[in-house]
Amino acid sequence: MSTDLSAVNSTSPSLPPSFEAKLQHYADLIVQVGAGVKQEESGAGQRVLVQSPVETAPLARAVVDAAYRAGASFVDVRWDDDAVILSRFTHAPEGSFESVSKWRVDAELEVAQAGGSVIAIRATDPGLLGNVDPARVTAHQRALAQYRRPYAQLQMSNRLNWNLVSAPIAAWTRLMFPELSEAEAVAAQWDAIFAATRADQPDPVGAWKAHLALLKARRELLTGRQYHALHFTGGGTDLTVGLAQNHIWGGGSALTRADPGAGGLEFTANIPTEEVWTAPHRERVDGVVVSTKPLSYNGTLISGIRIEFRGGRIVNASAEHGESALLQMIDTDEGSHRLGEVALVPHSSPISRSGLFFYNTLYDENAASHIAIGAAYRFNVEGGVDMDSEQFLAKGGNESLTHVDWMIGSAEIDVDGVNADGSREAVMRAGEFMI
């Protein structure tokens, strides 16, 4: 059971910081380490768009304040509401789900094209759409992804500094902590989020700088290895993931390419982040993989996923629960039948050690190695951000309207790096890095 930290005196060095102090730490991390909002030497500040559920308004307001303190020139907020979303999918007429609120996407694109930053606080009831016809959700997601594609391409090419975080909402906390009262569950989830994001540490920014340095060293080591493939085995998985030609591993912070001549802005797209990842080769994935954690996807919980790949393409897919949603997600387009990301996360990561399942991919993907169906990040291929589609595909990159991560790592999983000559090197054993 969580202590009510709002009653703790944060001025005492022997006591943990108050809830308000942790919330401020979190907001500062989101702006400074996450989005990397900066004021230019000329005095001009970035424009910032904050996307937030109405239930996470206290954090959104703290982020707005933090952004202005960091030098932002104008900060706007776009509000989301689970109840409004559920009402539409429950009551709207058939044939209406291809309609998109264009102004919501246009706001993202306008800020990005103006050199601004987008911060998204994503928190939703993981079971929100569990009783809704998956075909309705799929029709809307496909239409939204199509209209949002220009913005998504900027994101996946590091053309803007953006950040994705989360915060408690009542329905989500009740799922994570069903044995607690609502107030206790919200407090417990805040504790879990502050711990996962290091916002509960005395110097959160300093802690993140050290963590990002570790991820940078790991990604550079793996990039230098240039493995031909990764081979995952254990727990029912036997999967060989070929890697794209001249692949680059990402992890931790990155630099924007909005103004490469100026060196770009440093940002960390996800807080928390424990992963290093790269682009699979879209035509060289073979074998069987099973999920090790459920996937919360568009309000539906999908568990017991088992997928078989042949020549890079999914040839069989099933799930113990939520199979219809899984199959419709795979059927988004041709690219959603292939992989766009492979990521390595140690089983000993802080989120894994917590023993908590968050029902939220932002957290759960940082507890286990994972793969993503759909689009690859262009910066994971050398020169990829400047390639046309034909060139990117020729290097093994993948294009799709979707990108969905799901977890395949555990203490049972071994990973070998396979060289072009067939020789191997132990990369992970029992879920832990060996290199």
Average pLDDT, stretch 197-211? 92
Calpha distance 201→207 (Å, rounded): 8
Stronger pLDDT, 414 or 44, i.e. the higher one: 414
What are the distances in angstroms from CA 193 to CA 22, 178, 198, 269, 400?
A: 10, 17, 8, 16, 31
Q: How many CA atoms lie within 13 A of 386 on its CB side?
A: 5
pLDDT at residue number 44: 76
219 and 191 inside one domain: no
Name the β-bridge partners of 415. Answer: 232, 428
241 and 371 inside one domain: yes
pLDDT band at 40 (very low <50, low <70, confident <90, very high): low
- Do the beta carbons of residue 158 and residue 248 sit within 8 Å? no
Average pLDDT, stretch 210-237? 97
Q: Which two tokens stand for residue 267?
A: 């940002």
Look up the domain containing 27 and give its range. 5-196
The answer to whether residue 254 is domain-embedded is no
170 and 243 inside one domain: no
pLDDT at residue number 38: 81
pLDDT at residue number 258: 53
Name the β-bridge partners of 414. Answer: 233
pLDDT at residue 337 tops 70: yes
Domain total in the chain? 2
89 and 146 inside one domain: yes
- Do the beta carbons of residue 161 and residue 37 sit within 8 Å? yes
Average pLDDT, stretch 374-381? 96
Tokens 């609502």 belong to 182
130 and 278 inside one domain: no
- Do the beta carbons of residue 309 and residue 284 sit within 8 Å? no
Range from 140-154, 250-264, 310-324, 337-351 carrying the lowest mean pLDDT: 250-264
Stronger pLDDT, 14 or 410, i.e. the higher one: 410
pLDDT band at 230 (very low <50, low <70, confident <90, very high): very high
The answer to whether residue 266 is domain-embedded is no
Calpha distance 269→253 (Å, rounded): 7
Calpha distance 406→408 (Å, rounded): 7
Tokens 């102090």 belong to 21
The answer to whether residue 207 is domain-embedded is no
44 and 179 inside one domain: yes
pLDDT at residue number 257: 77
Average pLDDT, stretch 182-205? 94
Average pLDDT, stretch 39-61? 88
Average pLDDT, stretch 190-202? 94
Assign 59 to helix, strand or coil: helix
pLDDT at residue number 43: 61
The answer to whether residue 257 is domain-embedded is no
* Helix%, strand%, coil% for the chain, nearest 5: 35, 25, 40
404 and 365 inside one domain: yes
338 and 372 inside one domain: yes
346 and 403 inside one domain: yes
- Do the beta carbons of residue 189 and residue 166 sit within 8 Å? no
Of 293, 300, 323, the residue nearest 407 (C-alpha): 293
pLDDT band at 18 (very low <50, low <70, confident <90, very high): confident
Calpha distance 255→266 (Å, rounded): 5
- Give the CATH number for residue 178: 3.40.1830.10
The answer to whether residue 204 is domain-embedded is no
pLDDT at residue number 262: 53
Range from 171-180, 258-267, 361-370, 393-402 carrying the lowest mean pLDDT: 258-267
pLDDT at residue number 17: 55
pLDDT at residue number 362: 95
Percent of the chain with pLDDT over 90: 87
| C-alpha 74, offset from chain centre | 26
Dihedral through CA 215, CA 349, CA 190, CA 126, nearest 10? Answer: 100
244 and 167 inside one domain: no
Of the three residues 162, 196, 230, the one that is the final residue of a domain is: 196
Tokens 């759960």 belong to 364
Q: How many CA atoms lie within 13 A of 310 on its CB side?
A: 3
Sheet holding 370-374, edge to edge: 276-278, 339-344, 370-374, 403-407
Calpha distance 266→73 (Å, rounded): 18
The answer to whether residue 289 is domain-embedded is yes
pLDDT at residue 15 tops 80: no
Calpha distance 190→23 (Å, rounded): 9
Average pLDDT, stretch 214-218? 97
pLDDT band at 42 (very low <50, low <70, confident <90, very high): low
Calpha distance 313→5 (Å, rounded): 50
The answer to whether residue 78 is domain-embedded is yes
The 10s digit of each residue's pLDDT in 150-188 is 999 999 999 999 999 999 999 999 999 999 999 999 999
Assign 374 to helix, strand or coil: strand
Sign of CA dihedral 19, 2, 16, 63: negative
105 and 162 inside one domain: yes
Calpha distance 99→96 (Å, rounded): 6
368 and 221 inside one domain: yes
Stronger pLDDT, 95 or 259, i.e. the higher one: 95
pLDDT at residue number 13: 36
pLDDT at residue 4 tops 70: no
Q: In whole numbers, what is the pLDDT of the chain averaged over residues? A: 92
The answer to whether residue 314 is domain-embedded is yes
